[in-house]
Amino acid sequence: MMYFVLLCLLATGTTYGAHNFATGIVPQSCLECICKTESGCRAIGCKFDVYSDSCGYFQLKQAYWEDCGRPGGSLTSCADDIHCSSQCVQHYMSRYIGHTSCSRTCESYARLHNGGPHGCEHGSTLGYWGHVQGHGC
């Protein structure tokens, strides 16, 4: 019975591994790889990185959090909540993927996450994609 329940949870897309990721256009497996790349998929708080703080599971920055709709009331509270921070990533990708020539693939989502609204078009994000691939994507 437990095996069946786990399969049902995985099929809904709300739980992947031990994480309760938000559903959306980014596949759960891709969210997992980005999360592992950014924080080891842990709530690690904020740290200064490239001119500003990067926070939580997905190392969200203030501008990214604002672009995704400001879920969770504040950057810091959302960033260290796996569902809220993955919801932010889902909303960000939904907002920007259609404004580029990039396909709806994990590579494009990872490169957008790393390089901003047109990150999937910039060669500077290829190295980041390599790190994400290293987590099985």
Tell me: pLDDT of 24 over 50: yes
Mean pLDDT along residues 65-81: 97
Would you say residue 15 lies in a domain?
no
More confident residue, 11 or 73: 73
In this prediction, residue 14 carries a pLDDT of: 46
Contact indicator for 35, 89 with CB cutoff of 8 Å: no
Would you say residue 77 lies in a domain?
yes
Tell me: pLDDT of 6 over 60: no
Residues carrying an active site annotation: 38, 49
Tell me: pLDDT of 128 over 50: yes
Global model pTM greater than 0.75: yes
Count CB neighbours of 18 within 10 A.
8
- CATH code for the domain of 93: 1.10.530.10
Contact indicator for 111, 12 with CB cutoff of 8 Å: no
Would you say residue 9 lies in a domain?
no
Contact indicator for 41, 19 with CB cutoff of 8 Å: yes
Would you say residue 10 lies in a domain?
no
Tell me: pLDDT of 20 over 60: yes
Residue with tokens 């790393």: 114
In this prediction, residue 99 carries a pLDDT of: 86
For the residues of 46-102, what is the DSSP string, one character each? EEEETTEEEETTTTB-HHHHHHTT-TTSSHHHHHTSHHHHHHHHHHHHHHHGGGSS-
Would you say residue 113 lies in a domain?
yes
Would you say residue 36 lies in a domain?
yes
Q: How does pLDDT run across 89-114, given as a tens digit for each residue? A: 999 999 999 888 889 999 999 999 99
Write out the two tokens for 137. Answer: 């994507």
Tell me: pLDDT of 12 over 90: no
How far apart (Å, rounded) are the C-alpha atoms in residues 85 and 90? 9
Question: Which residue range is the domain that position 33 belongs to?
Answer: 24-133
Would you say residue 87 lies in a domain?
yes
- Domain total for the chain? 1
Would you say residue 73 lies in a domain?
yes
For residue 65, which phi and psi values (nearest 5 degrees)?
-60, -40
